[in-house]
Amino acid sequence: MMKNALLTMAVAAACFSYGAQADEKTGGDIVVTYQNDVATLDPAIGYDWQNWSMIKSLFDGLMDYRPGTTELVNDLAESYAISEDGKVYTFVLRKGVKFHNGREVTAADVKYSLERTVNPKTQSPGAGFFSPIAGYDEEASGKSTTLSGIEVVDDHTVKITLKEPNATFLHVLALNFASVVPREEVEKWGADFGKHPVGSGAFELQEWKLGQELIFRKNPNYFKAGVPRLDHIKFEMGQDPSVALLRLEKGEVDIAGDGVPPAQFLSFKNNPAYKGLMVTGDQLQTGYVTMKTTLPPFDNLKVRQAVNMAVNKDRIVRIINGRAAPANQPLPPAMPGYDKAYQGFSYDPAKAKQLLSEAGFPNGFATELYVMNTDPQPRIAQSIQQDLAKVGIHASIKSLAQANVIAAGGSASQAPMVWSGGMAWIADFPDPSNFYGPILGCAGAVEGGWNWARYCNKALDAQAAAADSMVKPDQQDARIEAWRKIFITAMDDAPWVPVFNEKRYTVHSARMGGEDALYVDPVHVPVNYDYIGLK
């Protein structure tokens, strides 16, 4: 067995802490507002930006991330080892970790929880993440109720066998869908477990008045020293974002969960009275225009290059009040593998016209640009339309409901161009592979798939598979470098126009403490509630 690079660190810092700032205290209560109620707090079901970090505060998994970063760390796993062939992961659990009901977390709970997520009766949107595990196909198809690849060795040891080596597997185990739940509580509440969640996390649910408020209270027996900082968090629902912002300014609200409404964004951001209340961070997101490489004229590389040079990205960023940065490649800056030196296609309408002429379209051509019909997406599409017109490309805008745009994008015969805004890819976990397979790989270039460019480069697919088989600790730098090259090679083929990488903005009251990174945590979206505190 070979031990992973994190193992010695994980053992030495088994209960790592994120140091409190000098002016930060322990204890106290805060108020967080949201416009909409929470649909569920079941980790196997919840899959939206609002409940994601709530669920993370209620539950633990085998793996997690260092607060405010994308660095993997052990969570319920005290240590782990990977077999030489990269297929077998053996996890040793921390002893004495308790669920909120007082029972100790065991290896059997890990097995049950993963099998519950994969079981089709659960209807988990995250079941497919566990497809690398041996036995997945049998359980996912309903032929079995267990995963043959998961073995309970003893109360504190679980062994997971994969079909093939998979370098992203530890990230998968840090997803909410891999959270460990107590079987007896799931069976007690049935379909209502999401309204009566019981985990082992830093907080536990104290009260839930549907449509009104949720109250989390501190787990006094949490295994991480000094966590959480707060005693209670009250989530107030049904709060209009504008009203919530006014209440925050008055000191009645501590975090405006829905952020600053677009119409008020610039005035709030530029008001010196609110300096320090708005925190900015990167998202694992890229907004892009796809060009269907299987449909003329986008089957011509020079046409795709011309479109890349025709779009004025700086102007588009201004349309959304500067809440993004221009993009030049598929990966966002916060993602490992992002190439800081890569310049991409510069804005050059004259060069775009030249390329169109060389491609046989000296007078341009007519096409269609699909866009979601929710502001500001149509305005962004209009900006792109104007840019294309300047080089002779006449794009008629098809502004449709999100579901219709997605359906057209996944069709071989429709949507020659799609602006992805409002549907743009946000990574499920901070690994470059998550930005390739579904949206740039051959597997996604199918009817109903998310690869709306129908871009399929089998040589790149082979390189991607090779990169994801690099599971040894001493291969990780080489793996990330391989992914960097894959995405830059994809850009050489220009199936997309990467337009911008959205920023995240969280607004908090003056009395809140903790590192800024906790308020724009790239994984505990939108806020890492476990580690924030009061000044």
Q: Whose CA is closest to 500, among 356, 316, 249?
A: 316
Tell me the average pLDDT across 159-182.
97
Are β-strands 157-161 and 88-93 bridged in parallel, bridged antiparallel, or unpaired? antiparallel
**Six-digit token string for 423:** 């549907």
Q: Are 322 and 276 in contact (CB under 8 A)?
A: no
Q: Which residues of 363-386 are buried (b: 16+ CB within 10 A; e: fewer)?
A: ebbebebbbbbeebbbebbbbbbe
Write the DSSP string, 59-99: ---SEEE-TTS--EEESSEEEEEE-TTS-EEEEEEPTT-B-
Which CATH architecture best describes the domain 285-504?
Answer: Roll (3.10)
Has residue 405 got a pLDDT over 90? yes
Confidence of residue 7 (pLDDT cuts 50, 70, 90): very low
Q: For residue 346, what pLDDT is reported?
A: 97
**pLDDT value at 15 more than 50:** no
Judge whether 2-19+38-200+513-525 and 285-504 match in fold: no
Residue 333, pLDDT > 70, answer yes
CB 399 within 8 A of CB 408: no
Under 8 Å between Cβ of 382 and 397: yes
Average model confidence (pLDDT) across the chain: 94
Residue 13's pLDDT band (cuts 50, 70, 90): very low
pLDDT of residue 525: 87
- The domain segmentation of the chain, as residue ranges, is 2-19+38-200+513-525, 203-282, 285-504
Q: How far apart are CA 87 and CA 89, in angstroms?
A: 7
Residue 16 pLDDT > 50? no
Identity at 375, one-letter amino acid code: D
363 alpha-carbon distance from chain centroid: 42
Place of tokens 């530890």: 170
d(CA 197, CA 395): 49
pLDDT band at 21 (very low <50, low <70, confident <90, very high): low
* Rounded Cα gap, residues 289 and 436, in angstroms: 16
Residue 527: pLDDT over 90: yes
Q: In whole angstroms, give the CA distance from residue 267 to residue 342.
A: 34
Per the CATH hierarchy, to which homologous superfamily does domain 2-19+38-200+513-525 belong? Dipeptide-binding Protein; Domain 1 (3.90.76.10)
Tens digits of residue pLDDT in 260-288: 988 899 999 999 989 899 999 998 999 99
- pLDDT tens across 466-484, in order? 999 999 889 999 999 999 9
3 state SS of 238: coil
Q: What is the pLDDT of residue 9?
A: 31
Query: Which one has a higher pLDDT value, 25 or 329?
Result: 329
**Average pLDDT for 161-187:** 98
Q: Nearest CA to 524 among 132, 201, 276, 305?
A: 201
Residues 6+ apart with CB under 8 A from 155: 106, 107, 108
**pLDDT band at 19; cut points 50, 70, 90:** low
pLDDT for residue 501 is more than 80: yes
Predicted confidence (pLDDT) per residue in 356-400, tens digit: 999 999 999 999 999 999 889 999 999 999 999 999 999 999 999
Residue 326 has what pLDDT? 98
> Closest Cα to residue 497, out of 448, 424, 428?
424
pTM of whole model > 0.75?
A: yes
Query: Is the model's pLDDT at 11 over the cut of 60?
Result: no
Q: Which CATH homologous superfamily contains domain 203-282?
A: Periplasmic binding protein-like II (3.40.190.10)
Task: Give the helix ranges, DSSP H, for 87-182.
Answer: 107-118, 136-140, 169-172
Q: How far, in Å, are 223, 441, 449, 474, 483 from residue 431 at the CA level?
A: 28, 15, 20, 17, 10
Which are the contacts of 100, defined by CB distance < 8 A and separation ≥ 6? 198, 199, 200, 204, 219
Tell me if 504 sits within 8 A of 281, measured CB to CB: yes
Residues 6+ apart with CB under 8 A from 470: 165, 167, 476, 478, 479, 482
